[in-house]
């Protein structure tokens, strides 16, 4: 079980990451360019991984980290695929 200090730290972390996700969402809608939107999505994936890690600590189950790892991989592949598409007009040449 998490003690009182860690519970407070986790509460702070959840609020901070939620705020960060809201700011990323603002940038995702505002733009103004495609590259900004890719960057905002990439940052959202990083913050979502952080949320999953904090959730894993709060619940005390190690299975959350497998989800975090999958999200890290899929987020990276998605970012590179979108950039590649904009650069070359194709993903796999």
**By the criterion CB under 8 A, which residues form the site for another protein?**
1, 3-6, 8-10, 12-13, 16-17, 19-21, 23-24, 26-27, 33-36, 38-40, 42-43, 46-47, 49-50, 53-54, 56-57, 60, 62, 65-66, 68-69, 72-73, 76, 79-80, 83-84, 86-87
Nearer to another protein, 76 or 92 (CB): 76
* Alpha-helical runs (H) found in the chain: 4-30, 34-59, 64-88
**Pair of tokens at residue 9:** 């730290």
The separation between the first and the last C-alpha atoms of the chain, rounded to the nearest angstrom, is 51
CA 37 to CA 73: how far, in whole Å?
19
Nearest in space to 39 (alpha carbons), one of 24, 51, 19: 24
Least distance from C-beta 90 to another protein, angstroms? 14
Least distance from C-beta 57 to another protein, angstroms? 5
């Amino acid at each position: 079980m998490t003690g009182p200090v860690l519970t407070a730290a986790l509460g702070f972390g959840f609020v901070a990451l939620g705020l960060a996700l809201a700011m990323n969402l603002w940038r995702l809608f505002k733009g103004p360019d495609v590259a900004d939107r890719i960057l905002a999505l990439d940052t959202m994936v990083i913050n979502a991984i952080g949320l999953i890690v904090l959730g894993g600590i709060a619940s005390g189950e190690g299975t959350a980290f497998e989800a975090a790892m999958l999200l890290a991989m899929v987020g990276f592949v998605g970012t590179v695929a979108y950039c590649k598409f904009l650069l070359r007009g194709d993903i796999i040449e």
